[in-house]
């Protein structure tokens, strides 16, 4: 099989493919979350501040911004699992394609 040369415009696109795939995976994850209403279905709060003995933790500036994730981590975990289950196979297929091309080039150089 002959190795085909890629034009300059196509090679510029391949530099940004991870950016496009990341945005596409984010949009698809958002659509899946909206379609199946994941945040409401898998909501399980670990604590509520009135009556929780560590309520002062929410008033720390850095922790106060992520307190919703600390209170209810299950939807965030599910969202990350969905996002990476969409993103990782695409990136692995893309990386494997370059690995095969690299091996072909090594075989052609050794001949």
Q: What digits encode the pLDDT tens for the residues 36-60?
A: 888 788 777 776 777 666 677 777 7
Whether residue 107 is predicted with pLDDT greater than 80 in this model: the reply is no
Q: Going by C-beta distance under 8 Å and a sequence separation of 6 or more, which residues neighbour residue 49? A: 55, 58
Q: What digits encode the pLDDT tens for the residues 70-91?
A: 777 888 889 999 999 999 998 8
Q: Going by C-beta distance under 8 Å and a sequence separation of 6 or more, which residues neighbour residue 82? A: 29, 32, 33, 38
Q: Going by C-beta distance under 8 Å and a sequence separation of 6 or more, which residues neighbour residue 22? A: 87
Residue ranges of the alpha helices (H) in the chain?
A: 8-15, 17-36, 38-41, 61-65, 67-71, 73-110
Whether residue 7 is predicted with pLDDT greater than 70 in this model: the reply is no
Kindly indicate the confidence band of residue 61, based on its pLDDT and cuts at 50, 70 and 90.
confident
């Amino acid at each position: 099989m002959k190795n085909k040369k890629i034009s300059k415009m196509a090679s510029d696109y391949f530099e940004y493919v991870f950016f496009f795939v990341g945005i596409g995976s984010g949009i698809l994850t958002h659509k899946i979350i909206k379609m199946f209403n994941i945040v409401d279905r898998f909501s399980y709060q670990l604590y509520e501040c009135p009556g929780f003995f560590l309520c002062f933790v929410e008033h720390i500036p850095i922790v106060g911004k992520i307190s919703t994730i600390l209170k209810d981590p299950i939807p965030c975990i599910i969202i990350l699992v969905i996002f990476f289950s969409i993103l990782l196979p695409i990136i692995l297929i893309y990386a494997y394609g370059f690995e095969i091309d690299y091996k072909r080039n090594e075989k052609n150089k050794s001949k």
